[in-house]
Amino acid sequence: MRYKIALLPGDGIGQEVTRAAVQVMKTVAESFNVTLEFNEQLIGGSSYDKNQTPLTDETIQACYDSDAVFLGAVGGPKWEKLPHHLKPEAALLKLRKSLGLYANIRPAKIYDALIDSSTLKKEVLDGTDFIVMRELTGGIYFGEPRGFDDKRGFNTMVYSHEEVERIARMAFKFASERNKKVASVDKANVLEVSQFWRNIVHEVHKDYPDVQLTDMYVDNAAMQIVHNPRQFDVLLTSNLFGDILSDIAGMITGSLGMLPSASIGSKYALYEPVHGSAPDIAGKGKANPLAAISSAAMMFNYSFQMQKAAEIIEMAIERTLANGYRTADIFSEGCELVSTGQMTNYVTGYYTDIFNEQALGVFTL
Ligand code: IPM
Ligand code: MG
């Protein structure tokens, strides 16, 4: 097999964590005998500096030509004062829309070795494993009219039937392959758009009778995520609510540096760590590469149907953590502080070990 990956390292630590993820991808490709073809392009501030725009047609075209897009991170203080449409973040929004990436998936699961580094209690966290399924190309992020003048500012929260239906379907589909529970988040007690959302989610639910559906107001959902996160399996949300709730859910793992994400549509898919470009530590070898590496695992899983590869990458991450290797953001006493590059080498080393162990296991059976 041969897969084309559009590689968009972006700004700040996006560069070094992408390099780390690519190292792991190459190791995986070799072990499974697949060919990966990388097409590296600029995005965000680094694109603005060269082309006066954070997203060029050339970069979008590379994504259209790809089997999967891998993005590092965008943004930084250098570009903060630019007008809205030229900010690095605008590139991300335009890319999501252009590629039709309507479903954003962020897993909230706890790595055993890190359970003590979360601000939440171990008893609360134990066994937590859910995903936030966030609608990504609609809602108030893109609704018209929008704008502001001297007297007022406004945005519009709007959803079409089709937009809600397809994200709801995706949530039920994921749930039916997981623990068969969907919690749909809305604010139906106040917002008409939420009542509309709720009605459609219930309609779609009829096609998935083996999945349990709960409606939850967004304020309550925020509270429940920190109060009793074990109750969730798939948390289905609109764009803005999902932006907020996925950050809350992110804290379950203890560090933003651990969180991967996938954004998928009917044709394209993009994988990126949830963390930002962290300009303060950029280029110093301090960044945690695990979120990027875990995003690569999601890519193998969802885009290339290489579930086994994804599983072994995750096991290699677990083993790296279990053996006490930590970048600064997840460091705790008694552990060994390592650089981005060292951490990546451990993951690739363990990946190869586990791959060989499993191959031997099959052989001896
Ligand atoms: C995210 C980010 C983005 C969003 C920003 C950078 C536009 O917060 O991916 O969650 O709000 O979607
Ligand atoms: Mg966000």
Catalytic residue, chosen from 78, 243, 302, 353, is 243
| Residue 74 and residue 201 share a domain | no
Question: Rounded to whole angstroms, how far apart are CA atoms 330 and 284?
Answer: 16
Reported as half-sphere exposure (CB side, CA atoms, 13 A), residue 34 has a value of 19
| Residue 302 and residue 240 share a domain | no
| Residue 241 and residue 264 share a domain | no
Q: Which residues line ligand 1 (CB under 6 A)?
A: 89, 92-93, 243
Single-letter residue type at 43: I
Domain count, the chain: 2
Q: Which domain holds residue 310?
A: 1-102+256-365
In a domain, 111, yes or no: no
* Crossing angle of helices 290-302 and 340-364, rounded to 10°: 40
Beta-bridge partner residues of 258: none
Confidence class of residue 362 from pLDDT cuts 50, 70 and 90? Answer: low
Percent of the chain with pLDDT over 90: 90
Of 214, 234, 253, which residue sits at a domain end?
253
Residues 6+ away with beta carbon under 8 Å from 180: 210, 211, 212, 233
| Across 231-251, average pLDDT | 95
The answer to whether residue 247 is catalytic is yes
Q: Whose CA is nearest to atom 7 of ligand 1?
A: 89
Q: Are 106 and 246 in contact (CB under 8 A)?
A: yes
The pTM of this model reads 0.94
pLDDT tens digits for range 96-112: 999 999 999 999 988 88
Question: Rounded to whole angstroms, how far apart are CA atoms 348 and 350?
Answer: 6
pLDDT tens digits for range 13-33: 999 999 999 999 999 999 999
The answer to whether residue 187 is catalytic is yes
The mean pLDDT of the chain is: 95
In a domain, 353, yes or no: yes
Q: How many CB atoms lie within 10 A of CB 101?
A: 22
The answer to whether residue 141 is catalytic is yes
Ligand 1 atom at minimum distance from 96 CA: 12
Whichever domain contains 212, its CATH number is 3.40.718.10
pLDDT for 45 beyond 90: yes
